[in-house]
Structures are given as C-alpha cells and as structure tokens.
Structure 1
C-alpha cells in the first residue's frame, strides 16, 4: 500500500513579506532514523500548488519530508516590492532559504530545483555545504542560451492571447502580471544576458543528480553538462528521452526512481540522538 502522507501548511514572517510554505511528511513519525528533508525550489512561473501531487509522491518514494514554498511575489506569498533584481537567484540563497530552514527547524537538507529553481538549489548547495547533503537539478539553466531566450519570447507572445494570463491568476492572483514580467523581462533583458551559474557557484561539494529532458524547449544539453562540471563530489547526469521542460510531470515515475536511488547512496539516514 502507498505510504500515508501528512500535510502541514505554514506562513513564514520575514522582513520582506510573508512566505507560504507546505510540508509533506510520512505518516507515523515513530522512526528510528531521521533523514534530511527535501526542499523544493519552483520555476519562474511556479508555486507550491503547481507542483501538484509531485511533493506527495516524492515523500512516498523517498520516505523523507518534503518542503516547498512560494517565493516572494509568487503563489500565496506576499507581493514582491518592486521589480525582480538581476541578482534574484543569489538572493534566494542568502535572504530567504535561511528563514525557511529556521522556521521549520531544519539543520540539514537536500536541495531540489526545477528550471531557474535548479540554479537556486545549486546556489544554496554551494553556499551551505555543511547543511546541504545532496543536490538535484531538473531542467536547470546554467547560462542564458539563445534557445532559452527564444522559448521565453515565444511564451511571452502566447500569453498575449485571450485568457492565457488568467491561467496565472488562478495560482498567483493579482500578482500574475508581475510573475510573467519577472520571468520574461528579466531573462530577455540585456542586464541579465551575461548571467551564468558559474558566476555564483564556484563548486558543488555534495553528491549531484542532474536531470534534463532531451527535448527541453528552454535549454540544450549544454546546460546539464555545465552543471555537472561544477561538482567536486560524485555527479550523475540523466537525460530523459521524450521529455521537454517538466520531467517531474512528463516522466514522474522515472524522476522519482532516479531521485530515490540518488538519495539512497548520497545521504543515508543518521541515528536520532
């Protein structure tokens, strides 16, 4: 039978505004072993709700707690005060992750990020090497590629069609226009054109799993190659055939199995004191 999962939602007060967060944990906490929870970093248009049932399935597959949160400006979190700065990836590691970990009393964690969330997860892993036990990136960008810009430009045009922006309203409310602009205007701007993951991440010291769809419309296979080269610890690169930009939805079972096997070897449980 599938493992039962408990869900708990919390609001986190920060100096910058409230963040919405949610935790999925295996039912029955009388375990002899504790494991570092998995922290999810969503993509440029994402939020907790848009992970859909993936966090629950991830919790069941790994036996670990899974934490997800809406970044400031997204989902149910408070609006972002102004335009998104070009250093927003670094900000997530320096300003917001510590508040999330402190609120949920997390000492060690596994970072899992999708798309730009993958760059954020990698930045967090590099910044907190003693706390981050493992890293998983999915469809992450390592630099601003022509394919990335072309895909975003096409998406920007598609959102001009009647009813398209309403899809974002369903998840982000009145913040939807800001969410779309934060993605498209930032990535298409001249100020962001020179960004690379290497500029903020010198090396990754924890075991690394790089997942990427073979048909990703926002990034070629140069991205997983460059991300894997950042690892000073063991790294595995898995290219998922037939997948585009959202493997955790398009090939969920394959993603779950890859993550489960990665974590089994990367960070086994440790005894409860």
Structure 2
C-alpha cells in the first residue's frame, strides 16, 4: 500500500494514527518510532523530521491504541500490554506499511516493546534497535515516580496539558498509570527476551532519569549476546530526545549509518 504523509491504519478493527516522513517504508530503509507510556505521534514534536533529515531514511511514527487519536482501549489494561503490542500488533503493522528493512527506535515503554519484538521475532528485515530510557524490570524509583505523576494528574494542570495530545486523555493516562501501579506489575520482567536479540542494540540513557536507574542498562549489557552500545547523557532525565535532542540524534544517526548502509548521516 502507498501511505499518505499522515492518516490511520486499521489493525484488528482498531484505528491507529500514524505519520510518515520521507520515502515509503517499502522503498527505503525505515526507522519506526515507538513512543513512551504517555506518548503519541504528536508528542514526538519535530524529532521525527529532524531524524529523517539526519539519516536520510523513511521515518514512521504511530500512536498505539489508547493514545493520541487512535482508538481507545478497554481498561484496565492487561499487565502484559507491552508484550501484546510487540507480539500481536507490531508484526501486523510492519507488514501493513511495507517495512522491508530498518530500525526500531523506542522510548520508555516503546523501548521495552522494541526489545521484546527483537527478542521474540527472528525478523530478517530488522537491522537494529535503539532503546531510549528502556525498562526491562520494575524498580522502586519507577513506581515512586509513577505514583507521583498520578497525584499531579489529579491535582495540577497536567491533565489539561496531556489532553492536547490524546483524544481520550483519561484512557491514555489510566491505562498506563493503572498498570504500572498495580502491585502485580512488580513482577513484570522482560530480561528473558534480551538473550534472543540477534541485531545490534544502541541504548541511550539519561544520567538523571527519574523513572529508572543505570541498572536497566546493566541488565541489557549482561543479558544480550548481540553488540550493545551504551550512551549515558549527563544532566538528562527520562526524555533524552527532548532534553538532549542533538546528542540523541547524533547517536541514532551514527547507529543508522553503521547498520543501514543505504542511510547517510548528515549530523
């Protein structure tokens, strides 16, 4: 199929909002962006455009169900919602857009989904994954920060700010926040998938990430048999692509140039 610059894809009767920058995924190496737990197509800002300019690739971003302008989800979300996205939705999406080769670049929840996909699919089209502020286990600091943001959502202007980016902001927020704060979610652990990743991995981690410690990175290094490159960004929190955007772009562009021979870095 030929994709417009923006629109909706239908997968299993669910409408998924998307945006495409650059060539069709069927005609050029493609970087697929997987957003954070409260993210959406719109919340990437101009990062996809800058990434396309820096790499010369196709860049495809989509809002998962429950986010942005995509269809809402039934709450509460199942606690394995990231595994389901990686194993049930993402394979169909890549096929539908005509993905032929490229990278997965995920942030936070999106990074976890990218890691699960790479570890559970022997996808010859996939040349590498970039994990920005990934989660592979649940840490005390993660739960504390997510509990704090629940209070902020209920008592500050945070809900109104997020409503700019989500058609059903309560569906988006409670779907994510409710899962992470469920006591049973403390057992969530995707380390078993890491050993099965067979493509290069680049990890970008903020030194001051309020949602996870360097232990997340150490586990990836310990469990992966594939090449793992780690970039720790000083004075950077949980969103390196916003807080240290030029450094983040440089890392991804260099990684793309090394793993995608047809992509040319311009940073």
Question: Normalising by the residue count of structure 2, what TM-score does the alignment of the two structures yield?
Answer: 0.91
Query: Is the 1:203–1:230 Cα contact (8 Å) retained in structure 2?
Result: no
Instruction: Identify the match of residue 58 of structure 2 among 44, 53, 65.
Output: 65
Partner of 1:249: 242
Task: Give the distance between the partners of 1:90 and 1:212, measured in 2 at CA.
Answer: 22
Partner of 1:18: 15
Tell me how large the CA RMSD over aligned residues is.
1.9
Query: Is the 1:7–1:24 Cα contact (8 Å) retained in structure 2?
Result: no
1:100-150 deviation per Cα after TM superposition (whole angstroms, max 9, x unaligned): 212211122311100111000111112233221111000111110000011
Q: Which runs of 5+ in 1 are unaligned?
A: 1-5
Partner of 1:219: 212
State whether structure 2 residue 39 is matched by structure 1 residue 46.
yes
State whether structure 2 residue 262 is matched by structure 1 residue 265.
no
Question: Normalising by the residue count of structure 1, what TM-score does the alignment of the two structures yield?
Answer: 0.89
1:6-31 deviation per Cα after TM superposition (whole angstroms, max 9, x unaligned): 970131112241111111116xx9xx
Task: Give the distance between the partners of 2:215 and 2:244, measured in 1 at CA.
Answer: 21
State whether structure 2 residue 105 is matched by structure 1 residue 112.
yes
Please state whether the residue corresponding to 1:12 is helix, strand or coil.
strand
1:137-190 deviation per Cα after TM superposition (whole angstroms, max 9, x unaligned): 0011111000001111111111122432111211112x2112111222111112
- For residues 137-216 of structure 1, the aligned pairs below 5 Å read 137-173=131-167, 175-216=168-209
Q: CA deviation at 1:192?
A: 1.0
Query: Is the 2:120–2:193 Cα contact (8 Å) retained in structure 1?
Result: no
Partner of 1:8: 5
Q: Which runs of 5+ in 2 are unaligned?
A: none
- Runs of 4+ that moved beyond 6 A: none
Matched residues, number: 258
Query: Is the 1:209–1:237 Cα contact (8 Å) retained in structure 2?
Result: yes
1:1-54 deviation per Cα after TM superposition (whole angstroms, max 9, x unaligned): xxxxx970131112241111111116xx9xxxx642001110110000000000
